[in-house]
């Protein structure tokens, strides 16, 4: 019961970005290797609890792998710099009045100097502020982006595990599934890499757009409230 309560307390981000990808990795392992040969549990509850904890741990590892593979995202900084320079033609998202107005609003809100250009810090300030407001769209898309990025990394991990298992199968050192099963898992891994690579890029674009939109909406309401109080 305590384990169930603990996992019910997980937020959407934890579930999508860590728990689900970690569970997929564990399922891929069970599809590749004959884990039932090595693992035995006395009750289903123990097996379920162990699986969920292991999935969460694996999910955090997958997040690290995804970060290493994907590098540091730069879209937010690219948008801010482009709007400041007045050159927005090459951005992967459409730039409207909202995107063009975001830098002056953030500069005012966070008391930033004119030459401030640490966009990583600026983005952290933005997300920290959004979490204090009723806006939730950006945070949901953050979770979706992290999910797709983690699942993209899961594809690479599963492909490496499958190729390694094929070598191990030739040696006979470890119990491995049949060749058709390994071929199916490898095919699914490569398909996952292709699909989730496209999806993670789209979700990242949506995440940045909604983060900017949520902040803009909040600041416009704050400015309008200030005008009404002053009138």
For residue 24, give the 3-state DSSP assignment.
helix
Q: How far apart are CA 132 and CA 215, in angstroms?
A: 11
Q: What is the pLDDT of residue 125?
A: 95
pLDDT (0 to 100) of residue 39: 67
Cα 110 to Cα 129: distance, rounded to the nearest angstrom: 10
Identify the CA nearest to 158 among candidates 64, 33, 49, 38. 33
How much is the pLDDT for 5?
46
Residue 128: band (very low, low, confident or very high) from pLDDT cuts 50, 70, 90: very high
Alpha-carbon distance 31 to 33, whole Å?
A: 6
pLDDT at 11: 79
Instruction: Write down the pLDDT at residue 6.
Output: 45
User: What span, in angstroms and rounded, lies between the C-alpha atoms of 226 and 231?
Assistant: 9
- Report whether pLDDT(8) > 60: no
- Per-residue model confidence as pLDDT tens digits over 173-220: 778 888 999 999 999 999 999 999 999 999 999 999 999 999 999 999
Q: At what angle do helices 20-32 and 179-230 cross, to 10 degrees?
A: 180
**38 DSSP 8-state letter:** T
Residue 7 has pLDDT above 60, yes or no: no
β strands within 9-132, DSSP E: none
pLDDT at 134: 84
Question: What span, in angstroms and rounded, lies between the C-alpha atoms of 161 and 35?
Answer: 14
60-119 pLDDT tens trace: 999 999 999 998 889 999 999 999 998 888 899 999 999 999 999 999 999 999 999 999
CA distances to 21, 92, 136, 209, 222 from 98, rounded to whole Å, are 34, 16, 18, 9, 15
Question: For 10-20, what is each residue's pLDDT tens digit?
Answer: 578 889 999 99
Classify the phi-psi angles of 185: left when phi > 0, otherwise alpha if psi is within -120 to 50, otherwise beta.
alpha
In this predicted model, what pLDDT tens digit does every residue of 147-164 receive, in sequence order? 999 999 999 999 999 999
The predicted-structure confidence for 21-49, as pLDDT tens digits, reads as follows 999 999 999 999 887 766 665 566 777 88
Q: Phi/psi at 94 (nearest 5 deg)?
A: -70, 135
pLDDT of the residue at 28: 94
Instruction: Render pLDDT for 134-151 as a digit per residue (tens, 0 to 9).
Output: 878 898 999 999 999 999
* Cα-Cα end-to-end distance for the chain: 57
As a 3-state breakdown, the chain gives helix, strand, coil percent values, each rounded to 5, of: 80, 0, 20
């Amino acid at each position: 019961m305590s384990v169930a309560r603990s996992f019910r307390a997980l937020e959407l981000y934890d579930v999508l970005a860590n728990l689900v990808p970690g569970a997929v990795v564990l399922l891929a392992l069970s599809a590749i290797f004959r884990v039932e040969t090595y693992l035995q549990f006395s009750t289903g509850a123990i097996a379920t609890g162990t699986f969920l904890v292991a999935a969460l741990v694996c999910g955090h590892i997958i997040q690290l792998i995804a970060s290493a593979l994907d590098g540091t995202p730069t879209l937010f900084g690219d948008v801010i710099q482009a709007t400041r320079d007045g050159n927005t033609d090459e951005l992967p998202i459409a730039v409207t009045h909202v995107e063009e107005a975001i830098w002056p609003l953030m500069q005012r809100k966070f008391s930033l100097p004119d030459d401030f250009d640490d966009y990583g810090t600026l983005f952290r300030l933005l997300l920290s502020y959004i979490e204090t407001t009723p806006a939730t769209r950006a945070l949901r898309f953050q979770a979706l982006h992290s999910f797709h990025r983690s699942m993209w990394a899961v594809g690479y991990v599963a492909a490496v595990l499958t190729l390694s298992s094929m070598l191990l199968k030739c040696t006979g050192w470890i119990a491995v599934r049949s060749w058709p099963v390994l071929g199916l898992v490898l095919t699914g891994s490569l398909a996952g890499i292709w699909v989730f690579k496209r999806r993670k890029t789209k979700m990242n674009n949506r995440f940045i757009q909604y983060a900017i939109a949520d902040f803009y909406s909040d600041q416009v309401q704050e400015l309008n409230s200030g005008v009404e109080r002053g009138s």
